[in-house]
Homo-oligomer: A and B are copies of this chain.
Amino acid sequence: MQKSVDPELACPVAPVVDIVFSRWTTPILWALHEFGRQRFVELERRLAGITPKVLTQRLRQLERDGLVSRTYHAEVPPRVEYEITDLGASLGPLFAHLSNWADAHLGEVEQARHSYDVGR
């Protein structure tokens, strides 16, 4: 995400952010975590608004990072399925923590935005 002048000052969270929170990455991991093994078209339907090109790119990136596995079934027509790996599933508690923070604090964020917008 960034190179800092002094490596010790670099944000240690940044590499995880790139891996887990790139645009569309979180919803894809979430959908695979919640709804299990799926075909490309099923994922595409769940993530309304994503283009096939972006979904392909993101799945390839997640596969490369070891968070998602791809299974090719040599049938006619061929069938390809995507599934979260054990490494991907290890993000579960982190997502739960994020979800809890949202429940506890998203209202405060909305309130802050309102005050900011009114005060200008």
Identical chains in the assembly:
2
Q: What range describes how many residues of A lie at the interface?
A: 35 or more
A109 within 8 A of B: yes
Question: In the assembled complex, which residues on chain B have CB atoms less than 8 Å from the CB atom of A116?
Answer: 63-64, 66
With A11-B27, A12-B99, A17-B26 already in contact, the answer to whether A2 and B66 are too (CB < 8 A) is: no
A26 to B19, CA, bound (A): 13
Give residues in A with beta carbon < 8 Å to B: 1-5, 9-17, 19, 21, 23-24, 26-27, 30-31, 45-50, 63-67, 87, 90-91, 93-95, 97-99, 101-102, 104-106, 108-109, 111-113, 115-117
- What are 16 A-B pairs at a CB distance below 8 A? A1-B26, A2-B48, A3-B48, A4-B47, A5-B48, A10-B27, A11-B30, A11-B31, A12-B99, A13-B98, A16-B98, A65-B109, A66-B116, A67-B109, A87-B105, A91-B101
Other A-B contacts than A9-B31, A13-B95, A64-B116, 18 sampled, CB-CB below 8 A, are A1-B26, A2-B27, A2-B47, A2-B48, A5-B48, A11-B30, A12-B30, A13-B26, A13-B102, A15-B102, A16-B98, A16-B99, A19-B109, A64-B117, A67-B109, A93-B97, A94-B98, A97-B97
